[in-house]
Chain A
Amino acid sequence: MIEVSNISKQVTTTEGTLTILDGINLSLAAGETLAIVGPSGSGKSTLLGILAGLDTPSSGTVSLNGKDITRMDEEGRAAVRAETVGFVFQSFHLLPGLTALENVALPLELKGDNEALKTAAYYLQRVGLDHRTSHYPRQLSGGEQQRVAVARAFACRPMILFADEPTGNLDTGTGEKINDLLFELNKEEGTTLVLVTHEHNLAARCGQRLVIAAGQQVDEGSAA
């Protein structure tokens, strides 16, 4: 499902060229789970961005579902994202003016799904928020907001779900519940899950772990 071959990312700053990622390789089959772990500033989120087609590597290739997205322009990558990818973010990224139901329905509506609201209601019920559908984000707790975000991500039935520190803004208890939900839905929907996390517990629940330090792929033991 995801094939990454020797990708690197450099950016030019006033102090010269800075290498953020260097020689990353990985392969992930459909339905598998991967945790990208590493200290702050190690390049985890950059890698996630490149894997999801939000950013491009300076060199190397990334294929999603058999399509080499590194050879595509932004339009092409957008098309791949639309049919393949879903996201859950650390800061939820819910639209404040929309109710929980509308937040979940929006990406479906934009894809022209006539059943958007129905599907959204179903997934809100799946995350246990069927009684909060008409609430606005500001009326929901952090955990509830992230559950709405999870429902929104799964409602589009993506083949691959990217989660960037999904519990980073939540307390441990709530975070655990969100993790449970992610893995449960992942299993039920057969989604491929790629998540960036600091948490060893969460990383441990994934089938594969990719440890990054200073932009380079390292052995699991040396990263800890």
Chain B
Amino acid sequence: MQALRMLLRTWRGGQLNLMIWSLVLAVAVVTSVSLLAERIERALTAESSSFLAADLVVRSSKSIDPEWIARAQNQQVQSAQVLTFASMVYHQEDMHLASIKAVESNYPLKGLLRRTTTPFTTDPSLIEEIDYGPAQGEVWVDGRLLPLLNIELGDEIELGEIRLKATQIVVEEPDSGGSYGAFGARVLMNVSDIEAAGIIVPGSRVTYRYLMAEGASGSDGFTNYSEWIKTQLDVHDRLITPDEAQASIANTMDKGRRFLLLAGSIGVVLAGIALALASHHFASGQTQQVALLKSWGIAANRVRSLYIQQSLWLGVGGSIVGLLVGFGFSELLIAVVREWLPISLPMAGARPWITGLATGLLCLAGFTLPALWHLPAQSPLAVLRQDVQVKPVSSAVRGLFGVAAVAGLLFWYSNNIYLSLAILAGFAVTALATIVIGLMLLRVAKTYGQKLGSIWRLASSNLWRRRSQSIIQMIGFSGAIALLMIMTVVRTSLIDEWRWQLADDAPNHFLLNVAPYELDGVRNLVTEQKLETAGWYSMVRGRLTQINGQGITEEQRDKHESFRRELNLSWTAELPEGNKLTAGKWWDELDLSGDIAPVSLEEELAGELGLSIGDQLTFSVGGLIFKARVTSTRSLNWDNMTPNFYFLFPEGMLENYPRTNMTSLYIPPQQKLLVNDLLRKYPTVQVIELDKIIDRIRTIVSQVTSGLEVMTLLILSCGVLVMFAAVSLSMSERLQESAILRTLGSSRRLILGIQWVEFSVLGIMAGLLAAIGAEAAVALLQRFMFDLPFSWHPWLWLVGPLAGGLLVGVLGVGYSRKAVTQPPLQVLNSL
């Protein structure tokens, strides 16, 4: 308890503030992001316990074999069919491309549906949990469909040929795994209405799910049945177990959580630097106290134990406050990104809190303990002689401990040694670049400062003399400012740049799922409006089943999505516009008469799938098998918004398989009603409105980056702490200089002026470094994420240095104002 008492007294004396805040911020940054990630993950995983709405599911692209259902009935196993597809729904003039789910009345077999009659409510007392789906003639709809179609519960909506009454709002489905990413509002209907609606035609993009659960025959009966089902599956079917469903969500979320934590680690590194500086400063203030304790006969071991205990109390206390601040920030983050999150987020488990606490304690071990380690070795003789002072652990060794702590934390967050090392190397390169450029800037400032007035001369030589502190402050601020600028650029301009690079008349609508017998009608409708399409393409959906005679392995399926899903196969005589042959030969140079069809692959996909020219592929289209040989690879232009295909065949090869047609076209806003006419006449046609999708992406990106900006504010606070800690180190020197200057007759204005120039110049340099960093990061994002040509962001180069100069100037002068306000005599006496 003595250690705690000593710590509390030291804290009361204000000597621990910087250390505590550094610790609090490091813990808060990590806790806030890991709480957010954990709560979203829990929301998704909680659902996955009943995620399948069954014990076992077969997902297929073809309709369920009636024999399966008959056998399930015979063997007293529960079963149900679920169909999902996109289709337009209407109410008078309003329409929406809804995400339709047709279920049998015994759906869900496992888990519960949650429904309400109060739109957008989160009040549990208004939400009903039930284990059956809508009756024939009824639909239960997503709350957001009501405003979209301008309807109320009780109104009828049109779906294909029929009208269905919207009677309930569906709040949650047990198996709505995809709902968070779905663009269309959910419409839940009874499967027996499907036929009358006439919305499913051969070739329609429908996902069939066959749900199975234990019935009257018990677990043995179910096991027998599921073993039998496994023997019935073909390449179009995929068996999904609850474990698998959970594993896939857990895997995705785990990646997300790691990404957020690694982003947060920038804050931890900055807070760590601040903590190391503050601890070093604290330790230098403790040497006299330790000498005194030892002169009283307190043994070195007892001193060490006292300081370790104090550090532990500090670590635990600071971490607890950090956890609370982190919780507050996670609530703020959730509020910002509310719209695209699941309605209710469960509370987090222990993991984020443990991660936060571990961060605090590891920071303490890496940054504070090394700074205090030498204290017990202080000689008691120091109470009599100032020259007898113990040497602190060398900065190199302390630096190593810090790096080890950061490495440990990175590994904890990422659970991947290579990723941790790569990020560590990234930090090191960034720091090195900051040091080199920072030193060059300081040198330039010193050279030119000498030629200016006395204020500039003194300020620039101060900056140079204390260059290691100046550089540390630059690292702290430039890192934080750069992050903030990157977020802002992404949120405000990158998405716009991406949109603007499209030509004004670039296609803004895709028409999909046009059946062969509808093609002429749709074509005429478009021509009547004097609109031009980017050309019509036919496509057949098929699955890749073999490569060079070898079946697709589990490993390959795990590796690439294209091995798991149906692929769109198309054909053309000419190389489409925007396509370039990168290897092999086009049809005109090939002999097309053989049994094996030639196929041209998109270059990147071929690389990802490990396919090269000459490889023989086997496809299954609705159970019909055919073979093809890779004869060429192509590069595509994705920016022209015309249909692009990964797999292209020559004409005459696929025409006999069930097919649908697609095109893209530009519909001017004044002719938008065409979409209405088209969909009324051809309800199975799918229209993708790119404008709306781009807007939706923009909203999501904007919200995510706003959320990240909240986090960046925390990181900026870490940068501020680095500065305060660095200024604290030189505070007594600053006080002494200022006192001497004032004793020599310098005015307060001069001293204040020196401080203003010193800190503002430092801030301008940090802002400049931040602009360099932000521009480089944005260039990488443009190149690799948005596929945009490089463009300058001149405002970064203006706002960065200006904001940096102002921020660092105000904070620095504010923090070191003591140097001006304290009477010189008092300062000199205390030295």
- Residues of A with Cβ closer than 8 Å to B? 45, 48-49, 52, 54-55, 74-75, 78-83, 85, 87, 89, 93, 95-98, 102, 107, 109-110, 156, 164
Contacts and interface: CB of A to CB of B under 8 A. Distances in A.
Interface in B382-400: 383-385
Contacts of B381: 49, 54-55
Nearest to A83: B297
Contact of A82 (B14, B288, B296): B296
Contact of A97 (B12, B379, B380): B12
A87 B295 contact: yes
Contacts of B296: 81-82, 87, 107, 110, 156
9 contacts: A54-B380, A81-B297, A95-B292, A97-B14, A98-B9, A107-B296, A109-B2, A110-B298, A110-B302
B15 A97 contact: yes
Given A45-B384, A54-B383, A110 B13 contact: no
- Secondary structure class of chain B's binding surface, majority of residues: helix
A89 B291 CA distance: 12
Nearest to B6: A106
B289 interface: yes
Contacts of B292: 93, 95
Interface string B272-296: 0000000000000000110011111
Contacts of A102: 9
Contacts of A80: 297
B2 A110 contact: yes
Would you list the 5 A-B pairs with minimal beta carbon distance, nearest first? A97-B13, A82-B297, A81-B297, A54-B381, A78-B299
B5 interface: yes
Contacts of B9: 97-98, 102
Given A81-B295, A110-B296, A93 B12 contact: no
B245 interface: no
A54 B298 CA distance: 12
A74 B300 CA distance: 9
Contacts of A87: 295-296, 383
A182 to B, nearest CB: 18
Contact of A78 (B5, B15, B294): B294
B10 interface: yes
A85 B13 contact: no
Contacts of A45: 384-385
B627 to A, nearest CB: 84
Interface of B: 2, 5, 9-10, 12-15, 288-289, 292-300, 302, 379-381, 383-385
A12 to B, nearest CB: 15
A128 B299 CA distance: 32
A93 B383 contact: yes
Contacts of B294: 78
Contacts of A48: 384
Nearest to A138: B830
Contacts of B300: 74-75, 78
Nearest to B826: A138
A131 to B, nearest CB: 21
A85 B296 CA distance: 7
Given A54-B380, A78-B380, A102-B9, 4 more contacts: A54-B384, A82-B297, A87-B296, A89-B383
A118 B599 CA distance: 95
Contacts of A98: 9, 13
B185 to A, nearest CB: 63
B283 to A, nearest CB: 15
A93 B297 contact: no
Contact of A110 (B15, B288, B293, B380): B293
A93 B298 contact: no
B299 A89 contact: no
A78 B10 CA distance: 24
B297 A78 contact: yes
B278 to A, nearest CB: 16
A109 B14 CA distance: 22
Contact of A109 (B5, B12, B13, B289): B5
Contacts of B2: 109-110
A54 B13 contact: no
B384 A79 contact: no
Contacts of A52: 295
A95 B294 CA distance: 14
Which residue, of A54, A107, A109, has the highest number of chain B Cβ atoms within 10 A?
A: A54
Contacts of B295: 52, 54, 81, 87
A194 to B, nearest CB: 13
Contacts of A89: 383-384
Nearest to B302: A110
A93 B290 CA distance: 11
Given A97-B9, A97-B12, A79 B383 contact: no
Contact of B384 (A49, A81, A107, A156): A49
A83 B297 CA distance: 8
A82 B384 CA distance: 17
Nearest to B2: A109
Contacts of A78: 294, 297-300, 380
B775 to A, nearest CB: 46
Given A45-B384, A54-B381, A78-B294, A93 B288 contact: yes
Contacts of A82: 296-298
A110 B384 CA distance: 21
A96 B13 contact: yes
Nearest to B11: A97
A79 B15 contact: no
A55 B382 CA distance: 10
Contacts of B15: 97
A107 B2 CA distance: 11
Which residue, of A74, A79, A97, A109, has the highest number of chain B Cβ atoms within 10 A?
A: A97
